[in-house]
Structure 1
Amino acid sequence: MRYLFIHPVFPGQFHRVMQQLAAQPGNEVVHLSRQSALEAVPGVRKLRFSVPEGATPTGHPYVHKLEEAVIQGQAVAHVAAELKRKGFVPDLIYGYAGWGQIMFIKDIYPNVPLVGYFEWFLNAYGSEYNFDPAYPLATEHQLYLRAANTPMLLDLQSCNHGITPTRWQQHQFPEEFRHKLTVLHDGVDTELFRPKPDAGLNLPGLSLPPGTPVVTYSTRGMEPFRGFPQFIRALAELQARCPNCHAVIVGTDNVYYSKTLPEGRTYKQELLEELAGRLDLSRIHFTGWLDTPYYLQVLQASCAHVYFTRPYVLSWSLMEAMAAGCLIIGSNTAPLQEVIHDGENGLLTDFFDHHALADRLEEALRQPERFRSLRENARQTVIQRYHLPKLLAAHVRLLEHWAAEPLHSAFHPEHSS
């Protein structure tokens, strides 16, 4: 079989499934991207598409995202047309949806099944927007959101099938398209992410012995979208109550999803200034990005792991922390409610109430044995629902089905919903 994967960044979410398909005799796997985050995947041929220099959005602001998608899609179409001219006709195309890369691929390969990876659909209400009263959505932005969904809608229309990681994400898409979307998570390596009882922490520049009461928090960016203000304010209260506790914060102080602050300031700066005199910075350790072995150490040393988010895409880091046996203290928002049942495999608290978060953290540090079963249940949840070998096999089966079957066939895997 011949497979063509399309993603803006190599290898994107397709690393493991490409490697699995490429390892099978007789398969040819090609990946088309604009840039690379990884040098190579064994058995996968890398191709690049480039956007013409100076190709920037023009015209009305509402259509900027559509114009960007058209530019990307046109660039992909040109490379695909050259591939086709040289005789490469895939049995299946699997592409990342919503950003333009697969917008025109059916015009090049009209008879090839197209499976899309659908991560998120923008909604003015019910998800990340109009959630926090401090950040109301302006009418003009609401109008923009509707127009910004155009590339995703085009991909939903043209694809033969789609994959989305969670039910929460599936239900963000318009109801008339949900029948096309199989809920299939990428999976978590539960052999790598596993508990290590009585683990200490030995990072470059930081060493904490076993038994140290450690609160952990990891994020792409320290910003309101992921509840960083609530966490740091709760930490100020917790430090006053638990003078021996330490906090390890993994990630950057960049802003990815939230409103940017003036003059290049960060939310970390704002909050440290707000809480000056109330935080003991000698017990707060900002690690920046960590390689996986160091990050795993952080999770294994954690007494309580905080994961807060607005109603948005659920971070894979949550499931990794659960697999590592962390006690999760999370926000009572819809994405977490799909995975965490309060008092069974973790603890949930109001997103906006940092006092309640401080209370839960204090309980976790003072009574660790009380929550042992929640840690164990968290790991079992991941093993049962997000175990990598099981979900990777389902992923491969779905792609093989669409590669082998006529376009009019229907597929109903075990993991569809």
Structure 2
Amino acid sequence: MNILFLHPNFPAQFRHLATTLAKNPKNKVVFGTKRKEGSIPGVLKAIYTPSRQVRPETHHYVRTLENAVLQGQAVYRLADQLKRENFIPDVVYGHSGWGPTLFIKDIFPNAELLCFFEWFYHAHGTDADFDPKEPLTADDEARIRMKNTPILTDLYSCDRGLSPTQWQKQQFPPEFHTKITVRHDGVDTNYFQPKPGAKLVLNDKKLDLSEVDEIVTYVARGMEPYRGFPQFMEAVSILLKKRPHCHVVIVGEDRVAYGRSLPDGKTYKQLMLETYDYDFSRLHFTGSLPYSQYLQVIQASSVHVYLTRPFVLSWSMLEVMSTGGLVLGSKTPPVEEVIEDEVNGLLVDFFAIDRIVERIEEVLDSSDKMADLRVKARETIQEKYDLSKLLAEHIKWIYN
């Protein structure tokens, strides 16, 4: 089988699929992407580059659409080159939203087009209007509606689609639900496994917490309101004053991955550090970490705080659970699909700062009583999100 993966970031959700399919000598796997870094054995990487950036004068409602069209055009040109080199895919599997899949049915009309549908945007009822302090304008509502244009094109054009969780599938228009299968990417439970008595020592970060018994962790791609960073940092300022032996470790970059940046150019990290008082000897920012060090962090965690707006579910929450970690998650739909309060984790209101602190202390004061929750957390991932099971199902779905 000839298969073409499409994703601007390499390898993203397709890492395990591309790796496994490339091991089969009967397959030829090509991965079209904008990202030059990285490689997978047996996978031919094909770089596409849009001809230009979105123009500043483009109406702000349709900048997302223009960007998607530019990416789709670049992929079309890449596909035309692949065709001249006698690569005709039987299947094209791409991430919907950024645009690479837009014109696949025009260049490869006989290929089966599969789309990974991660999110469908709504002005009301999910992420955009979640914080009452950030009311939407009419411009916001119109812009959010238009962000769905390339996704709607893919929903029409694709043969089949996949969404990682029920919550995420439910965001898409009901009339397209019959096209979308729910199947998570999967968690490598052999890699993300418990390590009793794990100690956190990151020598290159000059971080040695091997003698620390209370470690609160937080992981996100960026430090932003979508993942509850301001609420977490306010809670941390209280927590560190109440618990003199507690340390907090934050993994992620000082940037906004989802949502809006601050209008004055400050980062949310800068804002939080200016707004509240902290004992910086016990507050540790590691930046992004390689998987081996990230694993050390979550294995040594006493309690892991995961806050999110009603938005896509992060891999990190499931990976923490796979290590037998105790997750204190926000009581929002994507989290509630996985965590049942006081069964396989703890839940808390996203905006309830004092309650976040209380529940963290609840874990730190009764770690032995939380042992069952940790066991159930790992069992949940092994039963419903294990990569070894889901990968086989995912490949079968591709071949269908």
Q: Same fold (TM over 0.5)?
A: yes
User: What is the TM-score with the length of structure 2 in the denominator?
Assistant: 0.96
**Match of 1:159?**
158
Residue type at the aligned position of 2:10: F
1:195-247 CA distance string (max 9 Å, x none): 11111111121111255111111111122111112111212222232211111
Is contact 2:54-2:66 (8 Å) kept?
no
Is contact 1:9-1:37 (8 Å) kept?
no
Greater Cα shift, 9-18 or 213-222: 9-18
Is contact 1:210-1:301 (8 Å) kept?
no
Query: How far does residue 88 in structure 1 lie from its aligned partner after superposition?
Result: 2.0
Is contact 1:198-1:211 (8 Å) kept?
no
User: 2:304, 2:246 → 1: CA distance?
Assistant: 13
1:73-127 CA distance string (max 9 Å, x none): 1121122123223332211111111211110110111121110111111101121
**Match of 1:213?**
214
**Match of 2:236?**
235
Q: CA RMSD in A?
A: 1.4
1:70-85 map, 5 Å? 70-85=69-84
User: Structure 2 stretches of 5 or more lacking a match?
Assistant: none
Is contact 2:90-2:110 (8 Å) kept?
no
Query: How far does residue 290 in structure 1 lie from its aligned partner after superposition?
Result: 1.2
Query: How far does residue 389 in structure 1 lie from its aligned partner after superposition?
Result: 0.7
1:67 to 2:54 alignment: no
1:354-381 CA distance string (max 9 Å, x none): 1000000111111111111001100110
Is contact 1:221-1:254 (8 Å) kept?
yes
1:173-199 CA distance string (max 9 Å, x none): 111111111111111111111111111
User: Structure 1 stretches of 5 or more lacking a match?
Assistant: 402-417
Greater Cα shift, 142-151 or 52-61: 52-61
Partner of 2:61, secondary structure, is helix
Query: How far does residue 62 in structure 1 lie from its aligned partner after superposition?
Result: 1.6
1:161-240 map, 5 Å? 161-204=160-203, 205-209=206-210, 212-240=213-241
User: 1:288, 1:206 → 2: CA distance?
Assistant: 12
**Match of 2:373?**
374
User: 2:18, 2:258 → 1: CA distance?
Assistant: 29
Alignment length, in residue pairs?
A: 398
Residue 67 to residue 58, structure 1, CA distance change in 2 (3 Å): farther
Greater Cα shift, 328-337 or 211-220: 211-220
User: 1:29, 1:270 → 2: CA distance?
Assistant: 45
Quote the sequence identity (%): 49
1:299 to 2:301 alignment: no
Query: How far does residue 53 in structure 1 lie from its aligned partner after superposition?
Result: 4.0
Is contact 1:214-1:248 (8 Å) kept?
yes
**Match of 1:139?**
138
1:387-414 CA distance string (max 9 Å, x none): 111011111111112xxxxxxxxxxxxx
Residue type at the aligned position of 1:156: L
1:110 to 2:109 alignment: yes
Residue 211 to residue 59, structure 1, CA distance change in 2 (3 Å): closer
Residue 59 to residue 215, structure 1, CA distance change in 2 (3 Å): closer
